[in-house]
A and B are shown apart, each in its own frame.
Chain A
Amino acid sequence: MTSFAKPHINLKHAKRNALGLTRHDYEGAMSTLCAGCGHDSVTACMAKAFFELSIEPHRAVKISGIGCSSKTTAYFLSESHGNNTVHGRMPSVATGAAAANAGLTYIGVSGDGDSLSIGMGQFAHAIRRNVNMLYMLENNGVYGLTKGQFSASADIGSKSKKGEVNLSPPIDPVTLALSLGATFVARAFSGDREQLVPLIKAGLKHNGFGLIDVISPCVSFNDHVGSTKSYAHTYKYYHPAVHADYVPMSEEIKTSYAAGEAVPVELHDGGSIVLRKLDEDYDPRDRGAAYAQIAERDAKGEIVTGLLYIDESREDMAAMNKLTSRPLNTFPYDELCPGSDALTALQKGFR
């Protein structure tokens, strides 16, 4: 599978963002995924979110592991660097990259196989470190690229295309992330762009590790009757609980939401994420309660979606490490090397 260049045509009257760029400027190479694959919808949402946020494409960094999902970093933002690393190890590369230059926007793309089996350790530890990045986990319940084996997110009782029934309990990235102290946890569905685009924007603006677990059906290996990750199944059991919108500093928060429903969460950049409860009983600011609700409703087969938890108060990795605001990769050498006099002086301690 080769990546094909897509013709770049800017329509004359195309909508432009604050940088004067159009949606096309946020696209990438032509996708080589199967027609109808959920991952392609997620890719489109990503391009749209970056466009709407007016992020300069070359100031964004895309990092991924291995899998159909991980390939998608080639299919958006062709003007930003991408790093398609090795299977399950995207988080460590993103962590190192963020340490070297905290001034860029980092987006990690992974799959359920990449994140929950081979890469579960790195996934968990990136959450603990609160690396400032948005982590897209494109979840289809199978290993698409190796042709449909169950992944660790497959539900008990879910059937494979060949009729095999999964018997092991699933690993749910959302409750896992909550238990690990994640500061932004969302679940979405590739079939609902209205929900996903604002979530991606909020996740990109969140300071710290943002997880979006996107149910993203695999049309080739897991979209049949009996699969709990099919389009049909997801549409049926899908339940948005909290809607989230990013509102930049310049815009005033609209008061059109009924009082008590809209909760603005202030962000480091001065903007805010406005939470709108669709489900009255759900509180995305209470980790324990959120965990309990999600676990309970997961067990019933309900797919709770939206921004399920947010905490803007915790320090991210850079702050915990007291990193300077200047990116480490921009320090001139003279500022880093202590020089010969210091060397002579320190060696007095070695005599």
Chain B
Amino acid sequence: MSTPMNTPGINDFVIKLANVNGTGSASANGLLMKSIFRMGVPVVGKNVFPSNIQGLPTWYEIRVTGAGYGARSGNVDMMVAMNANTYARDIAELRPGGVLIYDSTWPRQHVLSRTDVTVLGVPLAQMCNAAFKVARSRVLMKNMAYVGAVAALLSIDVEVIRTLVREMFAKKPKLVDLNMQALALGYDYAMEHFECPLPFKVERLDETKNKIMIDGNTAAGLGCVYAGATVGAWYPITPSTSLMDAFKKWCEKFRVDPKTGEHNYCIIQAEDELAAVGMVVGASWNGARAFTPTSGPGISLMSEFIGFAYYAEIPLVLFDVQRVGPSTGMPTRTQQGDVQMCAYASHGDTRHILLFPAHPGECFTMAADAFDLAERYQTPVFVLSDIDIGMNDWMVDELEWDDARQPDRGKVLNAEQIESLEQFHRYKDVDGDGIAYRTLPGTHPKGAYFTRGSGHNADGNYTENEAEYQEVLDRLVRKWRGAADHVPAPIVKKAKGGKARWGILAYGSSDCAVLEACDTLAAEGLHMDYMRIRGFPFSDEVSDFVMAHDHVFVVEQNRDAQLRGLLLLETQIPRAKLLPLLHYSGEPLTSHFVHEHIKDAARQEQSA
């Protein structure tokens, strides 16, 4: 596969920063990205970091994209190489004609190994050692110094950066001065020694107006607050930890009684994921909106309770911020590897509702949707995001909330309703939609029933009678199928100009890369229809889309084509129609990858 070659231009290039983790680079890199965003220019940021606290390589990629694309492109036009241990690999990644910035305090023979790139040395350590006394500052300030140099080279408005520095260290004014000084060191050095700006650079635009930069976990935590969740239970695991951190932060802001200091939320750090999901079972059964954020290993542990909740019909909201498996895998790298596990989690015949947010904006809305669906269908609902969405800051449309929105609490009988009943039957299909009525503890003596994971009949009583057992099990699958038209509907982007023979299916964080690839392919004359799936069970629309095309590429970030597998199991779509397009390196998908694969496949078909 070739590397992409399109040349960088104004507001169209990629900066990659190679750092050592634990040196404070992430906040400097974030600040660099934010300053471009504040100049009205759309950006994409990806933090690729190790599962480690200090000393291992980490990369931060900033794509400046005036066109407003949301994925990695696959190019690197400027490399800021701050990690001697990864020089070789970092330099190799640079596009011919690109620019390499390195710390020239020490001689680096090997940086000159490539003659097709421009090498710019900035004596960062030397300048910082001379300017700062404290050892830790000398390390930290190198970051801000290279930000200064990059700002000069790319014509980033230094005033914007300075404002960000002041905001960032509002509570630590001493640090403001240090950072400003470091910024100036780099900026002045670059202005003095290099021809600034470079041919590719930032120019002010007005394309980020109603946009924000937010990560998916922060947005999902906020969504839980807006959904009215009151109980959250969790066990720490990357990359889901920051979701509960966010929920806590927003609860402290919105859910503490200013007079009494009392909380109208309860966050419990459980002893493990088995307990975390058990707590959610208990709280939801008792009528609170409750959730647990986790990642793949947590879902593995939660499986027994997930089956219990499915069979006993208890609402559950689970956020699976997916990371690379199997097993511990690569905990800080991204993947869509838990799709099938979540779809059928637990033993016996179980099927669940899945939601696939594609960006932080949908983490917010789908968090709220998840509670509605879980309570409406009295069943586990999984929100499947991933580390790319969950932990990277994405530029998305400003979040909106409809104040008229009321939560769907499902069929819960209140005391008067129970009182008026002859008898309460917990698992009876009264309305013919597969959804039975439930009661909450403490409501009314006649509403009491015995919740059990053992075989039960429509009354909730223990049974080993085949007909009674099957009646409940058959209703459960009818109930689940009913959700197909209530999960977020697929989004279709039709090819311009007539009927496309080929289609693409994707979901979650693959969306941006596919959208961009569609544009690139169209520009080359290959027109594709694209459907993004947002929920499971699949609605008929999904099969209809596939059947209307000769072939459909199913783009996924896993090895085993897990969503394609679900499609083959759950629909009548012939196997040959679905062509897997799989990316599972652990790095966020690039538009280049999607484009190249589809172009190759098309070429092969034409020559065949």
Residues of B within 8 A of A344 (CB): 398
- Using known A-B contacts A84-B452, A122-B271, determine if residue A96 contacts B290 with beta carbons closer than 8 Å: yes
How far is it, in angstroms, between the C-alpha of A99 and the C-alpha of B213 when the chains are bound? 34
- Using known A-B contacts A86-B308, A104-B441, determine if residue A328 contacts B282 with beta carbons closer than 8 Å: no
Q: Which of A1-25 contact B (CB under 8 A)?
A: 1-3
Asked whether B261 lies within 8 Å of A322 as measured between CB atoms, the reply is: yes
Asked whether B401 lies within 8 Å of A100 as measured between CB atoms, the reply is: no
Asked whether A121 lies within 8 Å of B275 as measured between CB atoms, the reply is: yes
- Please, how many residues of chain B have a CB less than 8 angstroms from a CB on the other chain? 78
Q: Closest approach, in angstroms, between the C-beta of A4 and any C-beta of chain B?
A: 10
CB-based nearest A residue for B277: A92
- Using known A-B contacts A85-B453, A347-B398, determine if residue A324 contacts B283 with beta carbons closer than 8 Å: no
Answer yes or no: A335 CB below 8 A from chain B CBs: yes
Which among B257, B446, B449 has the greatest number of chain A C-beta atoms within 10 A?
A: B449
Interface flags, B452-467, vs A, CB<8A=1, else 0: 1110000001111000
Interface flags, A26-38, vs B, CB<8A=1, else 0: 0000000000000
Residues of B within 8 A of A323 (CB): 262-264, 266
- Identify the A interface with B (CB < 8 A): 1-3, 56-59, 61, 63, 73-74, 78-86, 89, 91-101, 103-104, 121-122, 124-125, 129, 321-326, 328-329, 331, 333, 335-340, 342-344, 346-347, 350-351
Asked whether B441 lies within 8 Å of A321 as measured between CB atoms, the reply is: no
How far is it, in angstroms, between the C-alpha of A74 and the C-alpha of B448 when the chains are bound? 11
Residues of A within 8 A of B464 (CB): 2
Asked whether B255 lies within 8 Å of A336 as measured between CB atoms, the reply is: yes
How far is it, in angstroms, between the C-alpha of A276 and the C-alpha of B278 when the chains are bound? 38
Residues of A within 8 A of B285 (CB): 83, 93, 96-97
Residues of B within 8 A of A84 (CB): 450-454
CB-based nearest A residue for B256: A322
Some 24 contacts from A to B, beta carbons below 8 A apart, are A2-B463, A58-B441, A58-B444, A58-B447, A83-B450, A85-B281, A86-B453, A92-B281, A96-B268, A96-B278, A97-B441, A99-B282, A100-B266, A100-B284, A100-B290, A122-B278, A324-B262, A325-B262, A328-B266, A328-B288, A329-B288, A333-B407, A339-B403, A351-B37
Asked whether B305 lies within 8 Å of A86 as measured between CB atoms, the reply is: yes
Asked whether B271 lies within 8 Å of A121 as measured between CB atoms, the reply is: yes
CB-based nearest A residue for B439: A81
Q: What 7 A-B pairs come out closest when comparing CB atoms?
A: A92-B278, A96-B282, A96-B279, A100-B288, A93-B282, A350-B212, A96-B283
- Using known A-B contacts A93-B285, A121-B275, A347-B398, determine if residue A81 contacts B280 with beta carbons closer than 8 Å: no
Answer yes or no: B445 CB below 8 A from chain A CBs: yes
CB-based nearest B residue for A325: B262
Residues of A within 8 A of B226 (CB): 337-338, 343
Asked whether A89 lies within 8 Å of B274 as measured between CB atoms, the reply is: yes
Interface flags, B258-270, vs A, CB<8A=1, else 0: 0011111111101
B448's partner among A58, A94, A122 (CB-CB below 8 A) is A58
Which among B37, B264, B267 has the greatest number of chain A C-beta atoms within 10 A?
A: B264
Residues of B within 8 A of A79 (CB): 445-446, 448
Residues of A within 8 A of B194 (CB): none
| Apart from A99-B279, A321-B266, A324-B263, 13 more pairs, CB < 8 Å | A2-B463, A58-B441, A81-B450, A91-B278, A92-B277, A97-B283, A97-B441, A99-B268, A100-B287, A101-B441, A122-B271, A331-B230, A347-B399
Residues of A within 8 A of B264 (CB): 323-324, 326, 328, 331, 335-336
- Using known A-B contacts A1-B462, A78-B448, determine if residue A99 contacts B403 with beta carbons closer than 8 Å: no
Asked whether A3 lies within 8 Å of B283 as measured between CB atoms, the reply is: no
- Identify the B interface with A (CB < 8 A): 37-38, 211-214, 222, 225-228, 230-231, 233, 250, 253-255, 257, 260-268, 270-272, 274-288, 290, 304-305, 308, 398-403, 406-407, 439-454, 461-464
CB-based nearest B residue for A88: B274
CB-based nearest A residue for B209: A351
Q: Closest approach, in angstroms, between the C-beta of A301 and any C-beta of chain B?
A: 33
Q: Closest approach, in angstroms, between the C-beta of A250 and any C-beta of chain B?
A: 24
Asked whether A3 lies within 8 Å of B443 as measured between CB atoms, the reply is: no
Asked whether A85 lies within 8 Å of B278 as measured between CB atoms, the reply is: yes
Asked whether B263 lies within 8 Å of A97 as measured between CB atoms, the reply is: no
CB-based nearest B residue for A326: B264
- Using known A-B contacts A99-B231, A125-B270, A338-B254, determine if residue A94 contacts B263 with beta carbons closer than 8 Å: no
A2's partner among B263, B402, B461 (CB-CB below 8 A) is B461
Residues of B within 8 A of A1 (CB): 462
Asked whether B254 lies within 8 Å of A96 as measured between CB atoms, the reply is: no
A340's partner among B228, B275, B400, B461 (CB-CB below 8 A) is B400
